[in-house]
Amino acid sequence: MAARPIDEPHRSASPLELLFDLTFVVAVAAVTAEFAHSIADGHAAVVDFLMVFFCIWWAWMNFTWFASSYDTDDALYRLLTMLQMAGVLVLAAGVPAATAESDYSAVPFGYLIMRIALAALWLRAGYEDPERRRTAFRYAGGILTLNLAWILALLLTHMALWLFVVLVVLELAVPMWAERPRATNWHPHHIAERYGLFVIILLGESVLAASRGVQKALAAGDISSSFVLVAGAGLVLLFALWWLYFLHPAGQGLSERRAASYRWGYGHFFVFAALAAVGAGLEVAVEEAAHESSSTTVGYAVAIPVAVYLLTLWLVHAPVITPPVATPALILGCVTLVLLLPLVLPAVAVAVAVAGVAVLLAALVTVRANQLAGSSPGVTRPHS
């Protein structure tokens, strides 16, 4: 298990990585559905959603960055990856109880399966790659120690929020501590592609979530002009979110500024969580529109995640992308308008608020695409 070259040409996601990602489709679908239910019930379980989503995201992150450095694709590597996939499925099975009832009994068990397999991969890397042995063993030790801490926290405190935050901080610190002796050979273009693929998975989950709302409306026979408007606006909104992300390839920037990878990689938690939350908001918005109802809360269930997405996308890409995602004035202006729409239109149907957000995002895409096309032809091609 020798480290792969940083500058390996034509490095892209492997079929095994794509199969691995499919297990996260199940987990993300579960957490999105439960969040949508909580919004519909009038008490959006934001904290529970973020806690469960962190577990999903961090499990994906750990394997993704390891694979970028040490993907040997031999039999043992494949089998340990399969074991991690099994852990993801166990975690996904525990998502409904964790989100709806704050019952985290199943999630850590799935997490334990994944982490043991990943620690085994790091131990193997440490044994077979002498140059980065200390780094690999630090990763393995940090993973196993924190996995024990998660289990003890669950058994002793039933996962108190303050303790969860402390453990999250420690988890985020492990890579920064482990990489000190010698950095791993993660491939910048490969990492950028893997993040882009996860964005597409999350957008797909948003399509699935919105389609659940459409199915419920069709089953109840609640077809109206508002329903058609919010369904069409939702598609435009998702397409604009996709366009904005892939308008700015990050691979070259990560290659030139590897030190910025922590801000870029960790900051994507908010980008990813916002995309998942948009799906939940759209699902509820479609249902509300079918009933011709008006709700500022549901309008904000779409507007707030869109605003978070725009702001964090700009922040995480700022250190690595030239030209920048957008000027601060353009981003902040668009975020302000998105957040004002549900407030200034409280008496209008949810469909109009969602349509307004979609129009704003489409306008932002148009402005940025035209600016980039005018300053540097070819920059807008959606490749990592």
For 22-54, what is each residue's pLDDT tens digit? 999 888 988 888 888 888 887 778 888 998 899
| Closest alpha carbon to 318 in 331, 305, 308 | 331
93-116 pLDDT, tens digit each: 887 777 666 676 677 788 888 999
Domain ranges of the chain: 15-178, 188-375
C-alpha dihedral, 344 to 349 to 352 to 354, nearest 10°: 90
Residue 255: other Cβ atoms inside 10 A: 16
Q: What is the mean pLDDT of the chain?
A: 84
Question: Could you tell me which residues come within 8 angstroms of residue 142 by beta carbon, excluding any fewer than 6 positions away?
Answer: 174, 177, 178
Instruction: With beta carbons less than 8 A apart as the criterion, state whether 253 and 321 touch.
Output: yes
Nearest to residue 231, comparing CAs of 205, 207, 257, 197?
207
The overall pTM is greater than 0.85: yes
Query: Quick one: pLDDT at residue 347?
Result: 46
What pLDDT, on the 0 to 100 scale, is given for residue 251?
A: 86
Contact yes or no for 97/75 (Cβ under 8 A): no
Upstream peptide bond of 323 is cis (omega within 30 degrees of 0): yes
pLDDT, one tens digit per residue, over 205-220 is: 888 877 776 777 677 6
First vs last C-alpha separation in the chain = 26
What pLDDT score does 380 carry? Answer: 41
Two tokens at 220?
Answer: 């109840």
